[in-house]
Structures are given as C-alpha cells and as structure tokens.
Structure 1
Amino acid sequence: MPSNASTAASPSLTRTGFKAGAAFARSVVVGGLLALLLGAGAFAWYLVRFNGPGMSAAHAGGVGAVLAMLASPPLLVAMSLMLYVPLYLMIGVKQGHARALQQVVRAHGQTISLRLASAIAGRIEAMPRTYGALQRVPEWLTVETLSRQLAPVLGESKALSRAIGFVLARLPLSDMVAHWQQTQGEFGAAAAGAEDPALRTMLGQRIGDALQDAATPSRTIWWIAVAAHAALAAVGFYLTR
C-alpha cells in the first residue's frame, strides 16, 4: 500500500507533467513558426531572385537553363536554405525537451536528486566489492530500472524518465565508482549492503549539479542557427545580385 508521501507526490508530478507537456508544445510551435517564416520564407524569397539579372543564363529556357542552374553556386545556396526548414523544426523539438525538463527540475529537483542518489547508491553498495563487478554498475543503471524503482515514491511520468535519463547521460558513473572503490580500500571497506553516507553525498552533489544545468536551458542554438541562416541568405543575395 503506498505511503501518504508517495500518494501526495504522484498527483504533483502529474501536474508538473502537464506543465512540461505545455512547455514542450510551445517550443515546437515556435520551431514550426520559424521554419515557416524564416526557413520557407527565405527559400521562397531566394527563388524569386533566380529571375533577377544575376541569373541571366537561366532565362534561355530548355535544357541549357536547367544545366546552367545545376552547375551554379546559387543553386547550392538554394538547397542549403531549404534545409533550414527541417532544422528549425528539429531545434524546436530539442528546445521543447529542454523546457519540459526545466519544469520538472524546478518543481521536484531536490526530491529527485535525493531519491535518485539513494537509489543509485543502493545498487552500488549491493554489488560485490571487486573491480570487475563494480565497473559493471553503469550497465545495470538504466532509465527503465531506476524509473521503476522510484515509481512507488515519485510516481510514473515521461517527464520524470527524461530527468533520470538526463542525469545518467551526464553522470560519470565509472569514474565515481572507481573513486569510491579507492576510498573504500584506503579507509576500510564497509560491510556489503551497508549504507555509505559519503557515497550518497557525492552522488547527491553530482546529480544536483546535473539537474541545475537542466533547469537553465540555453537559447544559444537559436541564435547560432538564425545568424548562420542570415549569413547564407546574404551570400545568396550576393550571387544573384
């Protein structure tokens, strides 16, 4: 029977999941609008440029015009500009995942950090204290297994699974396990299965740092894409002037 804490936590995570879904949808919509307005708009504007004085060879008509266009740098620019339509969409999806994760971390970052550190530490402590066995710990720590383990306490949601996946992708588990094993050798190994406060503290700090990064998604990728897009359009304008 679930505890009161877990019962209270699940609806809260459910509400956070809806907020995360809304944040994801907003970013995807922004990506779609940029794909339509900037991506498709710049491509359409550039196609009109093919009728300008810079593309006189294309006015001849017939096969000669087609060959002239295929062999021209302006056509390569046109194809590159077309690629920005799916690029803006992909960036929108990527930013959507980041914004959704931001909602989860802001609402439940501390709880996830503590519970996840405890779950990972428990699995490490339960492993045999041999080098080969401990180095296999990252193989046993997957998003699915940890999500199932934390479900009775934190509930089940895609947003929580994304948070766990984000942490595992950025947690240097192999190095941390090796450091912990060395510490155990220097200060005397605790009994197998016994809780190690130092291990939990180390994991909590690393997980907290990873979640803090997740709580501050960057817009840099948008600015890079727009700047590169503008530069490419400027090159196209020069070639078809």
Structure 2
Amino acid sequence: MRTGLKASAAYASSVVAGALLALVFGGGAFAWYLSRFNGPGMLAGHAGSVGGVLAMLASPPLLVAMLMMLFVPLYVMIGVKQGHAGALQQIVRAHGRTISQRSAAAIAGRIEAMPRTHGALQRVPDWLTVETLGRQLEPVLGESKAVRAAIGFVLARLPLSDMVAHWQQTQGEFGAAAAGAEDPALRSMLTQRIGDALQEAATPSHKIWWIAIGAHAALVVAGFYLTR
C-alpha cells in the first residue's frame, strides 16, 4: 500500500507539473502574443473581406500564438509520460530485486522446459507477453497495473532472441543439460539483464522536460523578434 501511494503521488505530481507548464507557459505565451495581434488586414478581416481574412491569418503574432498553443497539449502529454515513469520508479525501488529474480526464474523455467531445437527456442519471444508472464508471477507480485507496467518495461528492453541464441550456443559448446533441468548460468544471465533494465527504469531523467522548455524558449525569442 505504501508503494502504491508513492507511485500514485509521483504520477500525480508529474501530471500536475505538466498541466501547470501548459497553463503558464503555453497558455500564457498564447495570450500574450494574441494581445499583440494588430497586424495588417485585421479590420478588413473582421469586416469579412477574404483578402483581409488571409492577411489577418498571416499576421506574425497570430501565427506565433498558434504555435505557442501547440505546447499546451505537449506539456500535458510529457507530464503524463513522466508520471508513468515516476510511478514505475517507485515500484522498481521497492520491489526491483523481487521482480528481477522472479521474472528471471519464470522466463528461465519456460526456456528450460522447451525442446532444445532452434525453431522451438526462437519462438520464445512469441509466447512471452506481459499477460502470460504477469499471470505466472501474480501469486508472488500481485496483479496491480504498476507491476504489469514494470514487467512490460522489462520485456520491451530484454533482447530475448539474442539471449536465447547465446544460451543455445553455450549449451552446444559445453554440453546441453537435461531438458527441464535448471541452468544456473541462464538464470544468472536473465537476472542480470532484467536488473539492468529495471535500474534504467529507476533512474530519473528530466531530459524531455528541458528539451520542450528549450524549444519553447527558442520559439518565444523568435516570435518576439518577428512581432517587435
């Protein structure tokens, strides 16, 4: 429950931050440039003249204001995306080791139980989905959406085909273990790779925020130059 509350708080704070940036920066800049809208053709545009309307639409303040308005949904989307990342970070910090160990054991168990043929092993990524692995780990990790998100993050970044090919080659070089027998090397490799993926998820990054704010600031400066 404590982890769930922290994950919810992290998600909510990022969404609120995105909404505030959208309101203050995106909406504020839009309103400011709209207030400077006094370009040619404005009166004719209000009167209904086609030429005046076109001139009004081509006015630099209006064009810049419309571009500023695009940052409103952008900041909101970034806030939601960062909110999901923040919630995932809380889950990983609290249960990362358990998720990596249990996931590695579940994946290794399925691989070890499959026939030791190239065609069969190459189909491992096909059956390994968030749903199948989530159901297998549900008795230990529960069925929360946050846990499913952590499993999905791991599967999206786990080079399973390459790992299975490497393991199969190792089996051929050192002698294949009996089908169904546990392979400590396979489990160790999976645990390390899954742990690395989860560590990536637990590392906070605000790069996307700075990129959006930098692009917004550059557009503000360019708009100010065009409308001065």
Residue pair 1:125, 1:194 contacting (<8 A) in 2 also? yes
CA–CA separation in structure 2 for the residues paired with 1:77 and 1:132: 57
Paired position in structure 1 for 2:175? 188
Paired position in structure 1 for 2:120? 133
CA–CA separation in structure 2 for the residues paired with 1:15 and 1:151: 19
Paired position in structure 1 for 2:82? 95
Residue 111 (structure 1) aligned with residue 95 (structure 2): no
CA–CA separation in structure 1 for the residues paired with 2:60 and 2:34: 13
Which structure is richer in relative contact order (CA contacts within 8 A, separation 6 or more)?
Answer: 1
* Candidates 15, 20, 45, aligned match of 1:28: 15
Paired position in structure 1 for 2:151? 164
Aligned-pair RMSD on alpha carbons? 1.4
Q: Measured at CA, do residues 135 and 76 of structure 1 come closer, stay the same or move farther in structure 2, by a change above 3 Å?
A: farther
Q: Which runs of 5+ in 2 are unaligned?
A: none
CA–CA separation in structure 1 for the residues paired with 2:102 and 2:109: 10
* Candidates 42, 58, 63, aligned match of 1:58: 42
CA–CA separation in structure 2 for the residues paired with 1:200 and 1:49: 64
TM-score between the two structures when normalised by the length of structure 2: 0.94
Paired position in structure 1 for 2:208? 221
Q: CA deviation at 1:156?
A: 1.8
Amino acid at match of 1:90: M
Paired position in structure 2 for 1:235? 222
Residue 174 (structure 1) aligned with residue 161 (structure 2): yes
SS in 1 for 2:177: coil
Q: CA deviation at 1:72?
A: 4.6
Q: Which runs of 5+ in 1 are unaligned?
A: 1-13
Count residues in correspondence.
225
Q: CA deviation at 1:69?
A: 2.8
Paired position in structure 1 for 2:193? 206
CA–CA separation in structure 1 for the residues paired with 2:198 and 2:65: 41
1:143-158 alignment runs, 5 A limit: 143-158=130-145
CA–CA separation in structure 2 for the residues paired with 1:182 and 1:76: 60
Cα-to-partner distance string for 1:37-93 (whole Å, 9 max, x where unaligned): 111111111111213xxx244344432332113335554433221110000000000
